[in-house]
Amino acid sequence: MTGTRRDAAARPAVVEGLAGAWRHRLGGARIAAGVRIGRGSRIRAAELTIGAGVVLGRGVRIEADRVVLEAGTEIGDRCRISAREVEFDRNCVLFPDVVVRALTTVRLGAHTKISRDAVLKAGSIEVGTEFWMNRGAEIGGGGWRTGDGRFQAGDRCHVGRGSHINTARPVVLGDDTAIGMDCTIATHAHWQPATEGFPFSSGPVTVGSGVAVFTRSVVSPGVTVADGATVAAGSVVVRDVAPRALVGGVPARTLRIHPQPESPLPVLLEALGSFTARQWPTAAWRTGPRGERAVDGPDGAHLRLTPDHLLHLAAPASRGGAECVFDLGRRVLTGTGSELSEALRNHLFSIGLRFRYEGYQRAPLSLRRLRESGIEE
C-alpha cells in the first residue's frame, strides 16, 4: 500500500502535482507539518512516518514495508530507496540520483550526507551519525544480493568520491574512519578458475576506528585494519594491519608505528592561534596563574583552554552570548551552539578532531547550503 494519509491533528503536507500520474494511496500514514513532496514522487509503505519539514524532490521512489523519515530530512530529485525497513534519522540529506537498496533494513544516522550519483546496496545498511559519502561512490557491487553481506559504519565516517566498497561479504567501519577517493574495499577477488590454480579470496573486511585509507588504495578480502592505522595512497593491503601502523606499497608493508605525542598542547595551541587570528585579528592570548590560556574577542566573546583540555567558548553578546564546552580529551561537545562554535568545530575538524554531541545542536545540513558553500555541486 502506498501511504501518505495524515493524522487528523497534523497539518496537510504541501504536495506538488496532485493531477496526472502522481498518486499517493493514503493508508494510516503519519505526516507532520511542513512536509513537501515533489511532483512525480511515490512512497509505497504499509507503515509510513514523515517528520516535520521533510522535503522530497521530484521523481523520488521509496518502497518498503515500513518507512520513517525524521524531521529535517531532504531527499533530492530522482532518488531510489527500497528495503524491508527504511529509517532515516533527523536531518539526513541525499543529493539527486542516489540509489539505496537493501534486502532487509536501511538505517541512516542523523546528519548523514550522501552526494549525487552515489549507490548503496547491501543485505543491510546501517550507518551512524554524520556519515558522509561523496559523489559517485558505490557500496555494493557483485554478490551484494546473496544476503551474506552487510554494510555497517560507525559515527562520523567518510567514503570518498569514486570509491567502491563490495558487499558480497560483510564490511564494518568503526567510528571516525575515512576511505579516500577512488579506493576499493573488496570482499571477494577472483575471475580466473580457482580449479586451475588461480588465486581465489573471499571474506569480510573490518576497518577499525580512527583509520585513514588514502587515495586509490585497495583493501583485500578478509583483512582487518586496526584502530588508528593509516594506509598510504596507492597501496594494496593483503594482510591485517596493526593499531596505529602506517602501511604502504604493493603489497603494503608496515613503514612505522605512529607514536603517541607526550602532549597534544603544541598542536592545539597552534590550531587555536590560527582560529583566533582569523576571527579576532587584534586579540592576544594570555596565560593565567593556573596555566589557563585565554583570549577575549569583541562584545563579550571569549575562548579559554584549561589545563585539563576543556575548551570554553562564549559567543558575542550581540549574537546571544551562547556558551559551549569542547572536551578535547573525551571528544565531546556540550552547551549551546552558535555561529562561532560551528566555525570552531569546523576548524578543529581540519586537524582531525571530531566530537560527539551531548545536548549540543549542530547547524543543520541542507541541499541549498551545501551547494552555496561549494562543498557540493
* Domain ranges for the chain: 136-147+154-258, 265-371
* Dihedral-angle region of residue 17 (phi above 0 means left; psi in -120 to 50 means alpha; beta otherwise): left
How far the first Cα of the chain sits from its last, in Å, is 35
pLDDT computed for residue 6 by the predictor: 41
pLDDT computed for residue 375 by the predictor: 84
* Cα–Cα distance measured from residue 366 to residue 349, given in angstroms and rounded to the nearest whole number: 19
* Cα–Cα distance measured from residue 61 to residue 64, given in angstroms and rounded to the nearest whole number: 10
pLDDT computed for residue 320 by the predictor: 85
265's CB contacts (< 8 A; 6+ apart) are none
CA-nearest of 71, 41, 72 to 59 is 41
Q: Identify whether the C-beta of residue 72 lies closer than 8 Å to the C-beta of residue 54.
A: yes
155's CB contacts (< 8 A; 6+ apart) are 109, 128, 129, 130, 131, 175, 176, 356
pLDDT computed for residue 27 by the predictor: 53
19's CB contacts (< 8 A; 6+ apart) are none
| Local confidence pLDDT in tens for the 377 residues of the chain | 344 444 434 333 333 433 333 344 445 678 888 999 999 998 888 888 999 999 999 999 999 888 999 999 999 999 999 999 999 999 999 999 999 999 999 999 999 999 999 999 999 999 999 999 999 999 998 888 887 889 999 999 999 999 999 999 999 999 999 999 999 999 998 889 989 999 889 999 999 999 999 999 999 999 999 999 999 999 999 999 999 999 999 999 999 999 999 999 999 999 999 999 999 999 999 998 889 999 999 999 999 999 999 999 999 988 888 999 999 999 999 999 999 999 999 999 999 999 999 999 999 999 999 999 888 87
Q: Identify whether the C-beta of residue 278 lies closer than 8 Å to the C-beta of residue 303.
A: no
pLDDT computed for residue 292 by the predictor: 94
* Cα–Cα distance measured from residue 307 to residue 209, given in angstroms and rounded to the nearest whole number: 27
- HSE-CB of 49 using CA atoms within 13 angstroms: 11
Q: How many CB atoms lie within 10 A of CB 352?
A: 11
pLDDT computed for residue 319 by the predictor: 82
pLDDT computed for residue 5 by the predictor: 41
- Hey, what CATH class is 136-147+154-258 in? mainly beta
CA-nearest of 166, 170, 159 to 213 is 159
